[in-house]
Amino acid sequence: MLELIELDDLKDIAKRAGEEILSVYGSEFSVDVKEDKSPLTEADRRSNAVIVEALKSLYPDIPIISEENPAEDYLIRKDWEYFWLIDPLDGTKEFIKRNGEFTVNIALIHRDTPVIGVVYQPVGQNLYWSKKGESAWKSVSDGIPVKLEGGEHYSGKDEIQVVASRSHLTDEVKQFVEDLKADGKTVNFLSAGSSLKICLVAEGKADVYPRLGPTMEWDTGAAHAIVIEAGRRVVRHDSGQPLRYNKENLLNPHFIVE
Q: What is the pLDDT of residues 182-230, one digit of tens each?
A: 999 999 988 888 899 999 999 999 999 999 989 999 999 999 999 999 9
CA distance 66 to 87: 6
Q: Give pLDDT, residue 33.
A: 80
In terms of pTM, does the model score above 0.75?
yes
9-17: average pLDDT:
98
3-state secondary structure of 15: helix
62, 107, 124, 133 alpha-carbon torsion, rounded to 10°: -110
Strand 103-110 relative to strand 113-121, pairing: antiparallel
Tens digit of each residue's pLDDT (9 = 90 or more) over 49-106? 999 999 999 999 999 999 999 889 999 999 999 999 999 999 988 999 999 999 999 9
28-34: average pLDDT:
83
Q: Where, residue-wise, is CATH 3.30.540.10 in the chain?
A: 2-147
3-state secondary structure of 87: strand
Q: Give pLDDT, residue 167.
A: 60
Question: Does pLDDT of 116 surpass 90?
Answer: yes
Tens digit of each residue's pLDDT (9 = 90 or more) over 118-172? 999 999 999 999 999 999 999 999 999 999 998 888 888 999 999 987 666 688 8
Q: Which fold has domain 2-147?
A: Fructose-1,6-Bisphosphatase; Chain A, domain 1 (3.30.540)
- Give the architecture (CATH level 2) of 154-257: 3-Layer(aba) Sandwich (3.40)
User: HEC string of 202-215?
Assistant: HHCCCCEEEECCCC
Alpha carbon 156 to chain centroid distance? 26
CA distance 121 to 13: 13
Question: Does pLDDT of 241 surpass 90?
Answer: yes
The answer to whether 176 and 163 have CB atoms below 8 angstroms apart is no
Question: Does pLDDT of 250 surpass 80?
Answer: yes
Q: Where, residue-wise, is CATH 3.40.190.80 in the chain?
A: 154-257
The dihedral of CA 160, 215, 51, 135: what is its sign? positive
Q: Give pLDDT, residue 166.
A: 61
32 Cβ neighbours under 8 A, 6+ residues apart: 39, 40, 41
Alpha helix (H) ranges present in the chain? 7-25, 42-58, 74-77, 92-97, 171-182, 196-203, 217-229
Alpha carbon 197 to chain centroid distance? 8
Q: Which of 256, 2, 258, 4 lies closest to 114, judged by CA? A: 2
